[in-house]
Amino acid sequence: MPRPSASPGRTGRPPLTSRAQILAAARRLIDRDGWEKLTIRRLAAELGIGTTTLYHHIRDKEDLLVLLLNHYVEQRERPDLPGHPRDRVVVAATALHDALAGWPWAAEVLTADGFVGRLDESALWMVEAVLAGAIDHGCTPAQAVDVFRSIWYYTVGEILVRAHSAHRGTGGRPLPSFGDLDPARVPHLAAIGDEWPALAARDTYPQGLRAFVDGLLAQATSPAPPEEGSGAWNGR
């Protein structure tokens, strides 16, 4: 294994370990033992170095995970975007969602401060496409940012809540967020009856997304100023 050639003007002991090696070792470890087994100590052992040394190449575990995430997103196929702006927003947001939903460490990373900014070009196109769709629909850039942020919150929430159910062994009983909520405790659910479990566990991300996009685009391009209290409800 050839050690990386020292760059010119560089001082100090040359590293025996590179970020590329770390990434490769991480992937090896995941493929062999499963993603739950990826821990700082194990990764260091896999590299044959001490844990502290590993911390000289990555800032955090979060840092490592973002590295892995970008690598993972890179090898995903890019869907081609529809021409209609509204549909483009929906498709791009769905792509973003799907890419992250399959990611085991979503919960550890998604809420990170500045997460969106740490995405590679391979993932950033989805953000761009959402913004572009909103702008093409008639939004100002500032409004497009607001649109993206709202969609981002919705997406993060969905992924995190579902991811949590997946992590804990809820053995065949996927009940995100509602969980054991007894419909009898909520008067307005009393009429539902046996269908409750299936109803509580439905996957409605795509449906909700379309409703959200419609609402956001309508709000942004409606004549009424969206700054403070839009429409019928002005303040409380």
Partner DNA sequence: CCGACTTTTCGAACATGTTCCGAAAGTAGC
Partner DNA sequence: GCTACTTTCGGAACATGTTCGAAAAGTCGG
Map the footprint of DNA across residues 109-148, applying CB under 7 A.
Answer: none
User: Hey, what are 182's tokens?
Assistant: 């007894």
User: Hey, what are 205's tokens?
Assistant: 């991300």
Distance of CA 102 to the CA centre of its chain: 9
Sign of CA dihedral 70, 75, 76, 77: positive
Q: Nearest 5°: CA angle at 76, between 65 and 71?
A: 30
Minimal distance in Å, beta carbon 115 to its own copies?
A: 6
Alpha carbon distance 182, 90 (integer Å)? 34
User: Is the CB of 47 or the CB of 92 nearer to DNA?
Assistant: 47
User: Is the CB of 3 or the CB of 149 nearer to DNA?
Assistant: 3
- Element containing residue 207 per DSSP (H, E): helix 205-221
Q: Is residue 215 part of the contact set for DNA (CB under 7 A)?
A: no
41 touches which of its own copies, DNA, none (CB within 5 to 8 A by kind)? DNA
Query: Of 20-28, 29-37, 47-55, 179-187, which part binds its own copies (CB under 8 A)?
Result: 179-187
Among 59, 78, 192, 197, binds its own copies (CB under 8 A): 192
Pattern of binders to DNA over 41-60, x per CB under 7 A?
Answer: xx------xxxxx-xxx--x
57 touches which of DNA, its own copies, none (CB within 5 to 8 A by kind)? DNA
Question: Going by C-beta distance under 8 Å and a sequence separation of 6 or more, which residues neighbour residue 15?
Answer: 3, 4, 57
Q: Is residue 182 part of the contact set for its own copies (CB under 8 A)?
A: yes
User: Is the CB of 70 or the CB of 221 nearer to DNA?
Assistant: 70
